[in-house]
Amino acid sequence: MAHNNTNTTTTTTSSNARETGILTRWVPARLKHSRPYRWFLRLLRVLQFLSAVISLGIFSSRVVKVIRLVNSIKTRRGINGEMGAVEGILAAAVLYTLIAMAMSFLLKGGGPRWLRWLWVLFDLLFVGAFIAVSVLTSPNGGLAGPKHCYSDRDVANGDNYTGETANRDDESCDLPWGTFVLAIISTVLHAHTAAFHEVRDHAKMHRNNKELEHQRIEQHQRQEMHYANGRSNVV
């Protein structure tokens, strides 16, 4: 009995050592080895991708509107560096989440261990990136937020951008609200996928453990039969 307990403990420790994700080892074993847990993690990847795509679409609509209003003088007038930073982060997030989502469905268990730890690193980077997006698009003074709809730098007359007065009440100025909210959601989603990962090869390990246990039982039975036969021969 003690030998079996030792083997079980060794198997559990080895399994935990192979797990990835910052908090995966603290998830109850019954939960992290279940099918709903695996599909929940894949759903998080899908939601990350959708959030990044929608956020990029919303913010790009605002940027395109600003460019159309000001391009008769200077293509980039009205577009500050913070807007470009938000666009770049969102575009990178779309690419990353698309790849991560595809890998989560194509690779069993999320792929090799080094790749899963690489996902953790990227997820943590995007947690920071989306925090930056939420700050830049914040309605409370974010430099790419609703209160900074147009930039009048390098313009002698701040009210004249295209030969006509720009409409500072343009509805596109409210689009960063959507990006701001989705940035917060994306931060939470990437934090979750950095913390919790799918457990790899559990079914195979469970099957191997059952086979080993069955072999030990058979060996024990053979030893008992051999011992019983030996005693009967002696008698």
Write the pLDDT tens digit of every residue in 52-61.
999 999 988 8
DSSP state, 145?
S
Q: Taking residues 37-47, report their average pLDDT.
A: 90
Model pLDDT, residue 90: 94
231 strand-pairing partners: none
Distance CA 38, CA 19 (A): 14
Cα distances (Å, whole numbers) of residue 208 to 6, 11, 42, 122, 212: 16, 11, 26, 33, 6
C-alpha 231: how far from its chain's center?
65
Residue 183 — very low, low, confident or very high, per pLDDT cuts 50/70/90?
A: very high
Model pLDDT, residue 207: 60
How do the domains of the chain map onto residue ranges? 30-200, 201-235
Tokens 């934090």 belong to which residue? 191
- Record the pTM: 0.67
Answer whether residue 78 shows pLDDT above 80. Answer: no
- The more confident residue out of 110 and 230 is 110
- Is 49 within 8 Å of 97 (Cβ atoms)? yes
- The more confident residue out of 46 and 212 is 46
160 strand-pairing partners: 165
Distance CA 178, CA 186 (A): 12
